[in-house]
Each structure stands twice: as C-alpha cells, then as structure tokens.
C-alpha cells in the first residue's frame, strides 16, 4: 500500500500524527511510541526504527534556525539577562518537544515509503 499514496501526502499525514498510509489512524500510541499497526488500514509501523535521526533533525532545526533568532532577540531585548535566559530556555524546550515527534514521524514515513530494510 505504500505506493498507493505519494510521499508528500504521506509526510503531511505523519506530521499531523496520523498514519502515513491512510491518514485516518494514529501514528503514535504515546509521545514517541509508534503504533504496531494502523487501527484504520492495518499497515504495520512497529518494526520501523527511526533511531537517532529524529533527535538529529530536531537539534538541526532548533539549533540552526531558532538559535540565531533567539540570540538576535536577546541582543535587542531590554529584559534582564536572567529573564531572557528563562524565557529562551522554556522556548527551546517547548520547541524541541513539539518538533521531536514530528521529526520522528517524518523519518518513519521516509523509511516506510521507501521500503527501507527493517521497515517491514
Ligand atoms: Zn492507516
């Protein structure tokens, strides 16, 4: 069924936390635990291991896209440095927690769509 849907559609479904195959079932049963199989279409995702790719992409995005913006904010800000540090730390933790499952979903989709070894 992986060839029945194009990659862009699969990636969009996965980024929304849905099955990359049908877009109806959930991809995760917990924060970063993917389901063994889609509840709607039965496609298997339990054997797919994204490993360190998702944290790598999260660090890449947060560190290289948002860090320069945060530094620019810190330089231009009139807040005390301790307040900026707290605000930026909370922002980076929040961004990382928000991006990590989406990055993993993207890599699960890539592995599933390409039929990579270990992707069942
Ligand atoms: Zn499905």
Distance 116 CA to ligand 1 centre (A): 18
pLDDT digits (tens, 9 = 90+) for 35-61: 999 999 999 999 999 889 999 999 999
* Pair 112, 119: CB distance under 8 Å: yes
State the distance from the centre of ligand 1 to the C-alpha of 58, rounded, in angstroms. Answer: 25
Q: Compute the distance from residue 10 Cα to the ligand 1 centre, in Å.
A: 10
pTM for the structure as a whole: 0.88
Q: Give me the sign of the Cα torsion angle 69, 75, 76, 78.
A: positive
Residues of the chain with pLDDT under 50: none
d(CA 96, CA 27): 19
Query: Residue for token digits 């298997």?
Result: 44
DSSP string, 57-89: HHHHHIIIIIHHHHHHHHHH--S-HHHHHHHHH
Span from the CA of 43 to the centroid of ligand 1 (angstroms):
6
Q: How far is the CA of 44 from the centre of ligand 1 (A)?
A: 9
Per-residue model confidence (pLDDT) at position 17: 96
Quick one: pLDDT at residue 32?
Answer: 94
């Amino acid at each position: 069924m992986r060839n029945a849907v194009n990659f862009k559609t699969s990636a969009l479904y996965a980024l929304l936390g849905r099955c990359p195959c049908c877009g109806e079932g959930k991809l995760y049963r917990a924060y970063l635990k993917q389901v063994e199989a889609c509840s709607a279409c039965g496609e298997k995702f339990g054997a797919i291991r994204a490993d360190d790719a998702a944290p790598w992409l999260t660090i890449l995005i947060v560190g290289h896209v948002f860090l320069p913006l945060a530094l620019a904010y810190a330089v231009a800000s009139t807040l005390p440095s301790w307040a900026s540090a707290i605000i930026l730390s909370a922002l980076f933790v929040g961004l990382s927690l928000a991006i990590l499952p989406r990055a993993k979903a993207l890599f699960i989709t890539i592995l599933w769509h390409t039929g990579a070894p270990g992707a069942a």
